[in-house]
Structure formats: structure tokens, C-alpha cells
Amino acid sequence: MKLALIAVLVLLCGGVAFAVVGGGDVTMKNKGGTVLFSHANHVDAAGLKCSVCHPKLFKNAKQHKAVTMKDMGKGKSCGACHNGKAAFGFKDNCKNCHQQ
């Protein structure tokens, strides 16, 4: 009985993990205000492959936390695409990404 329950729980958790796109919604806290990055919007809606971002642009939280907006202007982190060409630019659109 106990074993069956554990099996069901494992199955349920597995199912939830598969329903999430990539890394799911990632909250990035920083001085400009919290940023919510949506994998669903980038992978499903914008049609981007994982390899466009991983591992070059985003390896782990430590790596991206070191990125400043100035670095973004040089094409790092979100700035690789959010340059006003591939996607909306970061310069006039702070609130698209930062929640105050």
C-alpha cells in the first residue's frame, strides 16, 4: 500500500516536470527590480531552441547575476536578442522586464 502511494507520487511529480517548458519561470532578483523570465514565452511562443541560450548566454544563476545593463549593451545575457532587432530593445523598455 505504502509502495503504491509512493509510485503514484513519483508519477505525478514526473508529469509536472514534463509539463514545464525548459527551466520554467525563472525569477531574477537585481537592483533594477525583479525580472521574471518565461521559458514558455521564449521556447513555445518565440520558437527559440534551448541551444540558442544554453550554455553560452546562460550557464547558471551565478554567471548571469554578474551581468550589468552595460554588459547587455554589448550583447550579453538578454542583450543578445533584446537589442531592438531580434526582439524589443532594453533601452526604452525597462518595465517590460523589471517589475518595480
Q: Which residues of this chain interact with ligand HEC, rule CB under 6 A? A: 21-23, 26, 28, 30-32, 35, 37-39, 41-43, 46, 48, 50, 52-54, 57-58, 60-61, 64-65, 67-69, 77-78, 80-82, 86-88, 90-91, 93-94, 96-98
- Residues whose CB is less than 8 angstroms from the CB of residue 37 and which lie 6 or more positions away in sequence, other chains included: 25, 26, 27, 28
From CA 41, how far away is CA 14, in angstroms rounded?
A: 22
**Closer CB to ligand HEC, 12 or 55, in the complex:** 55
Region for 23 from its dihedrals, namely left if φ exceeds 0, alpha if ψ lies in -120 to 50, beta otherwise: alpha
Q: In the complex, what is the shortest distance from the CB of residue 89 to ligand HEC, in angstroms, rounded to a whole number?
A: 7
Residues 6+ apart with CB under 8 A from 38: 25
> Taking the complex as a whole, how short is the minimal distance between the CB of residue 51 and ligand HEC, in angstroms?
8
Q: Minimum distance between the CB of residue 10 and ligand HEC, rounded to whole angstroms?
A: 20
